[in-house]
């Protein structure tokens, strides 16, 4: 195999890993700041200028805390829980197209770790495996509240994966590909999928809230009922890993939302930029645009968190099975009819 490709991909993966970590770190600060602003407060502002060093302080605190083990039936699984959560949150980024092709050092560098034609399915696979982190951790805690949190998390994630998959099917029918690169390239300029699939987008949005265990669907760590849910017994950096994994998966799911429905790295007027400033400029601006969209979705996650109260468990299940799945199926049928009609095969 070409050594240069390995080096190129290696560097790219490390960079993406670093960016994901950085985002996850500063999401913790952003969450606290945004929560404060929504509640007419200022938020943490003591560590560094405007609280810019707060994540470091938090990390240091978590690192120096006592490593506590409950009377667990299996120490290995107790450690494996947060590790699985963290790794599944990180490996999703492998198939995401972070930008178009870049021409540097006489090479065409594709800003994507790997372009497999089943990228969408890969994401679903990783998502479904992600449940194990919570489930195993919750079970190994040897605590009824943890187990209950794990149960809720897993049943909720399984339920919402169905609606999520159905929402994606309509999108895949439109684009005709499961590869994220093709889906991204198909939204050139301003023809973003959200304009053609508004219902699908809404369903996908709601489901990604449920998949990332964020409010209003954070029943797995519902404080009022379950103390801390699946991470009740966790302390120190293992706890930090769970929280970090949550923020990392929030970043990744924001990215997926941006790539699938909000045009990925495409922005209006990109042809003009290519003509006047060159293809590289388009790529760089495209990457910035993508990160702008990601930041918006992260903000949206937090915005919703501080607006909507937590759903009750039966409401959650009702919404998933009785509202979203029928809506998604109707969306598929309508999309199919629309595609046939636009091809002139209907009537």
What are the residues binding another protein (CB under 8 A)? 34, 36-42, 73-74, 77, 116-118, 121-122, 124-125, 127-129, 131-132, 135-136, 139, 147, 150-151, 154-155, 158, 161, 178, 202, 303-304, 306-308, 323
Residue 190 or 308 having the CB closest to another protein: 308
Please, where are the H alpha helices in 176-235? Answer: 180-185, 193-196, 198-211, 223-226
Report in angstroms how near the CB of residue 271 gets to another protein at its nearest.
Answer: 29
Q: What is the DSSP string of 117-177?
A: TTHHHHHHHHHHHHHHHHHHHHHHTT-HHHHHHHHHHHHHHHHHHHHHHHHHHHHHHHH--
Nearer to another protein, 202 or 332 (CB): 202
Contact at 8 Å (CB) between 150 and 133? Answer: no
CB of 181 to another protein, least distance (A): 14
Compute the least distance from the CB of residue 247 to another protein, in Å: 21
Residue 91, CB-side half-sphere exposure with 13 Å CA sphere: 15
Distances (CA, A) of 203 to 84, 292, 318: 27, 22, 14
Which of 82, 99 has the CB closer to another protein?
82
Comparison of 40 and 276: residue with beta carbon closer to another protein:
40
Nearer to another protein, 125 or 278 (CB): 125
Q: What is the largest CA-CA distance in the chain?
A: 70
- State the nearest-atom distance from the C-beta of 113 to another protein, in Å: 15
Q: How far is the CB of 292 from another protein (least distance, A)?
A: 18
The burial class, CB within 10 Å (0-12 / 13-18 / 19+), for 24 is buried
């Amino acid at each position: 195999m070409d050594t240069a490709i390995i080096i190129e991909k290696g560097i790219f993966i490390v960079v993406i890993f670093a960016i994901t970590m950085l985002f996850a770190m500063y999401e913790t600060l952003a969450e606290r700041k945004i929560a404060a602003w929504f509640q007419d407060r200022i938020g943490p502002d003591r560590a560094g200028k405007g609280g810019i060093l707060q994540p470091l302080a938090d990390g240091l605190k978590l690192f120096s805390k006592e490593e506590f083990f409950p009377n667990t039936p299996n120490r290995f699984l107790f450690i494996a829980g947060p590790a699985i959560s963290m790794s599944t949150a990180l490996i999703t980024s492998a198939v995401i197209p972070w930008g178009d092709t870049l021409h540097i050092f006489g090479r065409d560098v594709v800003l994507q770790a790997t372009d497999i034609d089943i990228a969408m399915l890969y994401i679903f696979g990783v998502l479904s495996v992600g449940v194990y982190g919570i489930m195993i951790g919750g079970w190994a805690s040897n605590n009824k509240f943890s187990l209950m949190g794990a149960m809720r998390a897993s049943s909720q994630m399984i339920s919402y994966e169905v609606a999520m998959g159905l929402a994606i099917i309509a999108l895949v029918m439109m684009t005709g590909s499961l590869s994220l690169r093709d889906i991204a390239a198909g939204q050139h300029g301003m023809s973003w999928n959200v304009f053609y699939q508004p219902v699908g987008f809404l369903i996908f949005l709601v489901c990604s809230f449920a998949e990332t265990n964020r409010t209003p669907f954070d029943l797995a760590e519902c404080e009022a009922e379950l103390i801390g849910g699946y991470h009740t017994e966790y302390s120190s950096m293992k706890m930090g890993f769970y929280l970090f994994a949550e923020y990392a998966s929030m970043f990744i799911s924001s990215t997926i939302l941006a790539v699938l429905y909000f045009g990925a790295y495409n922005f209006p007027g990109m042809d003009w930029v290519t003509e006047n400033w060159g293809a590289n400029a388009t790529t760089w601006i495209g990457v910035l645009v993508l990160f702008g969209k990601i930041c918006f979705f992260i903000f949206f996650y937090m915005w919703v968190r501080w607006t909507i109260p937590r759903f009750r468990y039966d409401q959650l299940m009702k919404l998933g099975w009785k509202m979203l799945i029928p809506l998604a199926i109707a969306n598929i049928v309508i999309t199919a009819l629309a595609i046939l009609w636009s091809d002139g095969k209907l009537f």
